[in-house]
Amino acid sequence: MEHLKVSEAQQIIIDAVATMGVESVVLAQSLGRVLGEDICANRDQPPYDVSAMDGYALRSADVVNAPVTLEVIEDIKAGDMPSKTVQAGQCARIMTGAPLPQGADAVLRVEDTQVVSDGRVQINCSVKLGNDIRYRGESMRDGEVVLTAGTEIVPGVVGMLAMVKAANIKVYRQPRVAILSTGDELEGLHDAFDANKIPDANSYALMAQVQALGIQPVLLGIARDDPDELRRHLQTGLQYDVLLVSGGTSVGVHDYVRPTLEALGVQMKFWRVEMKPGHPMAFGSTDKTFVFGLPGNPVSSMVCFEQFVVPALRRMMGCSRLHRRTVVARLTHDVKHKKSRTEFVRVTLSSEEGGYAATSTGSQGSAILPSMAKADGLMVVPSASQGLAAGEHVLVQLLDGTAFQDSADFKE
């Protein structure tokens, strides 16, 4: 099999996977899910013209020559229905969200008025017709599609769903994801300490990456580099919608993952991608399971997850945005690169006038997990690059946990 570019490998994966079916969830459990149906408004919102302020509903023509004094004929709270019509020289005291009475065509906020006596108010300024009125149906119209299938359910969407009384909603089913680590050298998190072993970091780093997408994966543990044991574990993994296997996909004599997968009926779609870290990356499928053979080195496995598993899982979850957000940043130092593979450099991002500055998190070896743990993003060095110089603008793919920063930054 030929070596693919990252984008070619991504395309093969995106074309192979499909969105899952739908299921019903209650609104309180819907955050982070993806709408599997269009949602329509079930009334005009607001249902009638309402006041946007605490103040007085009046006839704008009456106050052209303000200050003037008007008779207060009624007190309308939110939830009341007005019972009187405002005639010339009259007004009604009105609260935010209360229906506008007949006859009134504007609202003046209470701060611009003065109570003169019981039943009379002085209006200190003139108002334009329509001032501080929210018109019927101005935020949504009865029957209008207000949210479409494929919308990710963020807090604002939850608010909208509540506004249209969608107590139960159809969302895309989430793929069931299994994670398997492989290697004789690995020590499980709860195994006895042995200074000569390598702790299994990948199961948990991958678990967290999957969780960060809103899916709870299943850890299948560690399979030793033994074809029979590996086969048993892989068979279990092939019961899931997605199987992530780390290690054992390279060219070592004990790298049994690919041949064992093939023996179990997995059709391998590609192996090896022109990227660094993450070269020995494999992808295949059966009629029910998509299998990602991720490199054993912890950083490689995480970087491959970002490039290949993120778009796959997001497509299966019904999202229309499949890829990580990228931002442009100013590089704070030189970066060496020999024309070869696309490279992903772990960087921190800091805000600066006009954007971001990107700085390497340190040693970029594919097993150096501390430099991944510190990273805000992955800076992309194109394969053809001969190296980058300080001050150049680069593209950085954001990682999870980057939505917050030290200070608010904005000027007021």
- With CB cut-offs between 5 and 8 Å by kind, which of Mg ion, ligand AMP, none does residue 297 bind? ligand AMP
**In this structure, what DSSP letter does residue 218 have?**
E
For 209, phi then psi, to 5°, come to: -65, -40
Contact with Mg ion (CB under 5 A) among 46, 248, 277, 311: 248
CA distances from 369 to 7, 297, 328 (A): 25, 9, 24
Chain centre to alpha carbon of residue 282: 26
Please give the structure tokens belonging to residue 9.
């490998």
Contact with ligand AMP (CB under 6 A) among 252, 265, 355, 362: 252
Q: Is 99 in the site for Mg ion (CB under 5 A)?
A: no
Q: Cα angle vertex 251, ends 310, 199, to 5°?
A: 60
Q: Is 183 in the site for Mg ion (CB under 5 A)?
A: yes
- With CB cut-offs between 5 and 8 Å by kind, which of Mg ion, ligand AMP, none does residue 246 bind? ligand AMP
Residue whose CB is less far from ligand AMP, 133 or 304: 304
Residue whose CB is less far from Mg ion, 103 or 293: 293
On whether the CB atoms of residues 248 and 257 are closer than 8 A, the answer is yes
Q: For residues 285-344, which are near ligand AMP according to CB under 6 A?
A: 295-298
Q: How far is the CB of 303 from Mg ion (least distance, A)?
A: 18
Q: Is 293 in the site for Mg ion (CB under 5 A)?
A: no
Residue whose CB is less far from ligand AMP, 90 or 203: 203
DSSP secondary structure letters along 48-100: S-EESSSEEEE-GGGGTT-SEEEEEEEEE-TT----SPPPTTEEEEE-TTPBP
* Number of residues binding to ligand AMP, judged by CB under 6 A: 18
Radius of gyration of the chain (CA): 30
**In this structure, what DSSP letter does residue 35 have?**
B
DSSP secondary structure letters along 364-399: --TT-HHHHHT-SEEEEE-TT---B-TT-EEEEEEP
E strand or H helix at 300, and its extent?
helix 298-304
Q: How far is the CB of 310 from Mg ion (least distance, A)?
A: 24
Closest C-alpha among 315, 224, 241 to residue 285: 241
Closest C-alpha among 312, 360, 346 to residue 210: 312
14 burial level (CB within 10 Å; 0-12, 13-18, 19+): middle
Q: Is 219 in the site for ligand AMP (CB under 6 A)?
A: no
- With CB cut-offs between 5 and 8 Å by kind, which of ligand AMP, Mg ion, none does residue 51 bind? none
Please give the structure tokens belonging to residue 101.
């009475």
In the complex, which residue's CB is closest to ligand AMP? 296
- With CB cut-offs between 5 and 8 Å by kind, which of ligand AMP, Mg ion, none does residue 298 bind? ligand AMP
Question: For the chain, first and last CA: distance in Å?
Answer: 57
Cα distance between residue 315 and residue 310, in whole Å = 9
**In this structure, what DSSP letter does residue 193 have?**
P
Q: How far is the CB of 306 from ligand AMP (least distance, A)?
A: 17
Residue whose CB is less far from ligand AMP, 185 or 392: 185
Q: How far is the CB of 370 from ligand AMP (least distance, A)?
A: 13
- With CB cut-offs between 5 and 8 Å by kind, which of ligand AMP, Mg ion, none does residue 217 bind? none
Closest C-alpha among 367, 362, 364, 335 to residue 348: 362
Q: Is 277 in the site for ligand AMP (CB under 6 A)?
A: no
- With CB cut-offs between 5 and 8 Å by kind, which of ligand AMP, Mg ion, none does residue 63 bind? none
**In this structure, what DSSP letter does residue 140 have?**
B
Contact with Mg ion (CB under 5 A) among 247, 277, 278, 280: 247
Q: Is the preceding omega at residue 217 within 30 degrees of 0, hence cis?
A: no
Per-residue contact string for residues 163-202; x = within reach of ligand AMP by CB under 6 A: ------------------x-x-xx-----------x-xxx
* Number of residues binding to Mg ion, judged by CB under 5 A: 4
Q: Is 51 in the site for ligand AMP (CB under 6 A)?
A: no
- With CB cut-offs between 5 and 8 Å by kind, which of ligand AMP, Mg ion, none does residue 360 bind? none
Q: Is 247 in the site for ligand AMP (CB under 6 A)?
A: yes
Q: Is 209 in the site for ligand AMP (CB under 6 A)?
A: no
Q: Is 295 in the site for Mg ion (CB under 5 A)?
A: no
**In this structure, what DSSP letter does residue 42 have?**
S
- With CB cut-offs between 5 and 8 Å by kind, which of ligand AMP, Mg ion, none does residue 284 bind? none
- Binding footprint of ligand AMP on the chain (CB under 6 A): 181, 183, 185-186, 198, 200-203, 246-248, 250, 252, 295-298
Binding site for Mg ion (CB under 5 A): 183, 247-248, 296
